[in-house]
A and B are shown apart, each in its own frame.
Chain A
Amino acid sequence: MALSQQEVLAGLAELVNDETGIAAEAVLMEKSFTDDLDIDSISMMTIVVNAEDKFGVKIPDENVKNLITVADAVNFITSAQE
């Protein structure tokens, strides 16, 4: 069964915390991965690959560069689940 946006956000926040140590509560929908959370491109790709495993979705390389904010990622994953 597809997860809700809130559930995807919570799961994604855990992955961000695992990779970077950033508190899960700080991973909010409007935050930018690069500008607000200071996540570099390599950590971003690690989070993407772990998100693929966790949520059972494919996030192709060409889509990764469009994931600017946490909301972009949550929306992509939510749509890809359907």
Chain B
Amino acid sequence: MRTLKQTQQREFTKIYSLGASRGSLTVTNHDIAGPIDSSDEWIRQRTGIITRKRAGAEQSLIDMATEASREAIDKAGIDPAKIGAVILATITFPYQTPSAASLLSAKVGAVNAAAYDISAACAGYCYGIAQADALIRSGVAEYVLVVGGEKLSDFIEPTDRSISFLLGDGAGAAIVGPSDHPGISKSVWGADGSSWDKVGMTGSLIDFRDGKTAWPTLVQEGQSVFRWAVWEMAKVAKQALQEAGLEPKDLTALVTHQANIRIIDELAKQLELPDSVVVARDIVDTGNTSAASIPLAMHRLLSEGLVAKGGYALQIGFGAGLAFAAQVVELP
């Protein structure tokens, strides 16, 4: 009888490159303040957002994911045929099936890749990085394309004061591959299903079909989510640092989910970071793009020269679920 063959494990992984694509429209606070009986000043003060990027009618989630992915693949310098898995984190692909990742894999020439979407909302990209790390180290894939992409503007209600006015559209992509040194720390992740209803939709698609609800849009209990996102996520971030064997002073950057500037600033304060750590604040003119926000924010820090390749960034995603994931990565 022959012995079962199993894949050979790799020791380390890293992010090779990032790509970014934002909605083509710039939407100001003035543009959206009317229906929520608000003002530019009120929105800036409570969220830090000055403008947000939204996709036009002609710009789809797949368009943005493709643009971001092509940039990441080009920068990594790899043959897309060598990508073993395409993981797309999204909550806004308007088809139950097939997956957005499957369509994306064809668009970028990842012809030998497994392809699937993950639904972990604003934690989705960090979930994807955790999976990519595991797939590569286990030998299942050599390279993995991880994308966080959203067209949230399809699921907003202009009169909603809880979340809609924060939201933007975009996609961020990463190529993850094998490394000769540690480039991605152990992920700290989870989901608090007891708070399933704190962030979500106004109704189900079945209720919409049956005329029991309007088109489902996003909604949240902002105050409760704020408490969880700052004080519970500070514990998760500290645990991720501990798993990485690092201290705050070892970090180059903190890249949180770009939920709200008040969450970002309070979370950074709870972590007692030294001034040398750059805190990503892409939200100011991109808005909250859910799964896309972390790779977009990190891409911007690198492209604007605010951080250097090779430094360590703590990235933490958190949102509906309430799902969360954090890991330390070497900046590509």
Contact = CB atoms under 8 A, between A and B. Distances in A.
Interface of A: 40-42, 44-46, 48-49, 61, 64-65
8 contacts: A41-B226, A42-B222, A42-B226, A44-B223, A45-B223, A45-B227, A46-B266, A64-B223
Contacts of B260: 42
A41 B223 CA distance: 6
B224 A42 contact: no
Nearest to A61: B224
A15 to B, nearest CB: 14
Contacts, number: 27
Contacts of B46: 40, 42
A51 B177 CA distance: 46
A11 B7 CA distance: 61
Most A CB within 10 A of own CB, among B46, B222, B226, B266: B226
A65 B222 CA distance: 12
Interface in B219-243: 221-224, 226-227, 230-231
B262 interface: yes
A51 to B, nearest CB: 12
A49 B224 CA distance: 11
Contact of A42 (B221, B231, B262): B262
Name the interface size band of chain B: 10 to 19
Given A42-B260, A48-B227, 20 more contacts: A40-B45, A40-B46, A41-B222, A41-B226, A42-B46, A42-B222, A42-B223, A42-B262, A45-B223, A45-B226, A45-B227, A46-B230, A46-B266, A49-B227, A49-B230, A49-B231, A61-B221, A61-B223, A61-B224, A65-B223
Contacts of A65: 223
Contacts of A40: 45-46
Contacts of A49: 227, 230-231
A40 B222 CA distance: 11
Contacts of B227: 45, 48-49, 61
A46 to B, nearest CB: 7
Contacts of A61: 221, 223-224, 227
Contacts of B223: 41-42, 44-45, 61, 64-65
A42 B46 CA distance: 8
Q: List the 3 shortest-distance A-B pairs measured between CB atoms, nearest first.
A: A61-B224, A41-B223, A42-B262
Contacts of A45: 223, 226-227
Contacts of B230: 46, 49
A36 to B, nearest CB: 18
Contacts of B45: 40
Contacts of B221: 61
Nearest to B227: A45
Contacts of B266: 46
Interface in B39-74: 45-46
A49 B45 CA distance: 20
A42 B223 CA distance: 6
A64 B221 CA distance: 12
Interface in B199-233: 221-224, 226-227, 230-231
A49 B262 CA distance: 15
A36 B265 CA distance: 26
Nearest to B221: A61
A24 to B, nearest CB: 21
A61 B232 CA distance: 14
Residue among A42, A46, A49 with max Cβ neighbours from chain B (10 Å):
A42
A69 to B, nearest CB: 17
